[in-house]
Amino acid sequence: MKHKVTLIPGDGIGPEIVEATLRVIEAAGVEIEWDRHEAGMLAYEKCGNPVPDELLESVRTNKVALKGPTTTTVGKGFRSANVTLRQKLDLYTNLRPVRSIGGVHSRFEKVNLVIVRENTEDLYSGIEKLISPGVTQAIKVVTEKASLRIARWAFEYALKNNRQRVTLVHKANIMKISDGMFLDSFETVAKEYPDIKADNRIVDALCMNLVMDPCQYDILLLGNMFGDIVSDLAAGLVGGLGMVPGANIGDNCSVFEAVHGSALDIAGKNIANPTALIFSAVLMLRHLGENEAADDIWKAILVTISIGNNLTKDLGGNASTEEYTNQLVKEIQD
């Protein structure tokens, strides 16, 4: 069956790792008609809108998108294309599986965490202003509806994926009303799932626990801001940002993308690690029902990394993005 998927190559290392990912998907024998669209800086320069209507329409129609990272300027410029996409398409779940892979040098060997991040609210509300010279304000929005919805999603994921525990991460000792509601909603939903252990941690203590012993956690459920920060921390536990995939999931459509950004420091050098985006494509292929191809790609990555001859620089090797991808393609076709 031929699928139609929206493709957003992005910028920075985006086009390089997207190219690698398309080669690997093709080698696995999945037929996809790609509907290419620009987003972020490139779209903004072309039409003055980082998330053009045609892009939104394409994702709504195809229901699935694969996205490379997009740059957002710091402290000025247009609003993040990622935040806009997630909010406009109501992609309320950000799923980020964080797993140790044999052969990747890291401090821990058996990390198997799932990060579930609420993707539409919190300090990402976009309500931020200069009140008077020298005084600013940003508003953290937390609604009961979105809190109940993401908690239910996390418990359902636990059930379907044979996970035992969901830990809610918050700062309700300080933000008693907003994070307090996030926590209360979680506890309400937890009662509907008596077979799944539910507990909570204050975010600062969680960070300490994670760097000391990440294997003690199963599913972590976080709001948008803490979810963003803890995701990068967790990536550091399993070999870095080049290894962690992600999926933005809504009730009607999903956008698959790596956790990392556009990595401008290494863009255009053919040295970026495409694994995180390829793992995101594995999630996408499972979503499309292409489980055999997803398994083949997953195994090719495990074998290539465990042999260790053709790894990119971040994994301790000397291979280019292209050489690493050639090896994956070879493994899939063997």
The residues that touch ligand NAI, with contacts defined as CB under 6 A, are: 13, 69-72, 82, 241-242, 257, 260-266, 272-273, 276, 314
Instruction: Write out the chain in H/E/C secondary structure.
Output: CCEEEEEECCCCCHHHHHHHHHHHHHHCCCCEEEEECCCCHHHHHHHCCCCCHHHHHHHHHHCEEEECCCCCCCCCCCCCHHHHHHHHCCCCEEEEEEECCCCCCCCCCCCEEEEEEECCCEHHHCCEEEEECCEEEECCECCHHHHHHHHHHHHHHHHHCCCCEEEEEECCCCCCCHHHHHHHHHHHHHCCCCCCEEEEEEHHHHHHHHHHCHHHCCEEEECHHHHHHHHHHHHCCCCCHHHCCCEEECCCCEEECCCCCCCHHHCCCCCCCCHHHHHHHHHHHHHCCCHHHHHHHHHHHHHHHHHCCCCEHHHCCCECHHHHHHHHHHHHHC
Is the CB of 120 or the CB of 167 nearer to ligand NAI?
120
CB of 257 to ligand NAI, least distance (A): 5
Is the CB of 18 or the CB of 172 nearer to ligand NAI?
18
Is the CB of 180 or the CB of 250 nearer to ligand NAI?
250
CB of 299 to ligand NAI, least distance (A): 21
Is the CB of 71 or the CB of 93 nearer to ligand NAI?
71
> Residue of minimal CB distance from ligand NAI?
261
Tell me which residues are annotated as active site: 124, 171, 204, 228
CB of 268 to ligand NAI, least distance (A): 12
